[in-house]
Amino acid sequence: MNILVVSPAYAPYAGVGANRMMSFSQYMVEKGHSVIVLRNLPELWPAESLKSIPPEGVIVIDVNAIGTFMNCVEAYYWKIKEAYEQYLPDCAIYSCNPYYTIVAAARIKRETGAKFVIDFRDLWIKDEALTRSIPRKIKKFLSRIPYRSKEKNCVEMADFIVTVSPRDCQQLQRQYRKHKNKMCVIYNGYDENRINKELSDEEKIKVDKVFKQIDGFYSIGVFGKFGYYDYEYVRQMLSAVKVLNEKGVKIKIVHIGELDAITKKAMDKMNFPNELYCGTGFLDYRTGIEILRGVTMNCLIVHYKRGLGTKLFDYMFVNKPVIYFAQKDSSIADILEVCNHSYLCAGAKDTVNAIVGILKEKQKDLGCMDRDKYSRTIQNERYEKLLENVII
């Protein structure tokens, strides 16, 4: 197959949005397929986030997507047209968000009949508000209204639509009942191919530096966003760590990612000791995983119900106990509640009890019997078969 992948978030950008198509494009090249990737010009991302390297064998084309939504539509439209003229792909995948790429895709479909798949990492019009703030929820809802007709057109024109969680798929199927049979779920999963690569000497130094900082302490790993999704939850988490240290339980937070404003606000307001927080900033995925392998347990904080994120699967791979803050009726809870050593927490008391229980019982693993099914290799195989069916 000759596949065009349109993913504004892509290496060298090391943010979580790049991981899905990075993994899939590498898998497809290794299987002998041709892959062309259209990505946002690297200079459009923060300089400190440019930590990854595109897979060998992938043809990468930069798009200078700046300005308004429609400016970005135009920028991608012309680059996609050029890619079709030069490389003649059999099919294209559009990884969203952002969503301006699929508006360009629908336009090209009308003009040429070019087949395409929408990959919704996050839904568009019916995307969840990732906050408990009512004003912010209303603001997000209102901001999406002008794009309803555009999404409807994109869904109608797409040959297939992929979501990353069952609840997202169900939401989209309710929204577009007429097209529900061309929608499915392909999970994110953990990327064992990238994980198993040897670290460079430079990356090994970064890992060793972190381990030196937590030497003599128990540790709680956080991969990617920390308290970004919920101020109250992160405040409770920090309070638990602070209380435990005051009681003589030496434990630190190891945050692999950038410190967000919400977490910083919580730390400042409660005078959280700086020495109990070890922040690495952006790291390559493989480096981050190696650090997670060495912590005592991991932590996940969300407030959404339908989404799964990506760190969940990385936590499943490193196979350490997990403490998590989420709604009981959520996709996250659906998966973690069947694991033996996962702990749903609502406040600092729950968190303290969970951490003490993990340490007292010397729990070393997450205890999920079916975690292998969340391998990205398995999910990529499903994607490959889907494309084969679309191209026929």
3-state secondary structure 40-54: ECHHHCCHHHECCCC
pLDDT of residue 194: 75
pTM of model > 0.95: no
Nearest to 324 by CA among 287, 303, 296, 299: 299
Residue written as token pair 């101020």: 231
Burial (CB < 10 A; 0-12, 13-18, 19+), residue 87, is middle
pLDDT of residue 207: 95
Helical H segments across the chain, by residue range: 19-30, 69-87, 100-112, 134-144, 148-157, 166-175, 192-195, 201-213, 231-246, 261-269, 285-293, 311-318, 331-336, 348-360, 376-391
Pairwise CA distance, residues 69 & 124, whole Å: 14
pLDDT of residue 132: 65
Residues forming beta bridges with residue 34, ordered by sequence position: 2
Nearest to 244 by CA among 354, 380, 107, 105: 354
What tens-digit pLDDT sequence spans the chain (392 residues)? 999 999 999 999 988 889 899 999 999 999 999 999 999 999 999 998 998 899 999 999 999 999 999 999 999 999 999 999 999 999 999 999 899 999 999 999 999 999 999 999 999 998 776 666 677 777 777 777 888 999 999 999 999 999 999 999 999 999 999 999 999 999 988 888 778 778 899 999 999 999 999 999 999 999 999 998 889 999 999 999 999 999 999 999 999 999 999 999 999 999 999 999 999 998 888 899 999 999 999 999 988 888 887 889 999 999 999 999 998 889 899 999 999 999 999 999 999 999 999 999 999 999 988 888 889 999 999 999 999 999 98
pLDDT of residue 233: 93
pLDDT of residue 130: 62
pLDDT of residue 285: 85
Largest CA distance in the chain: 68
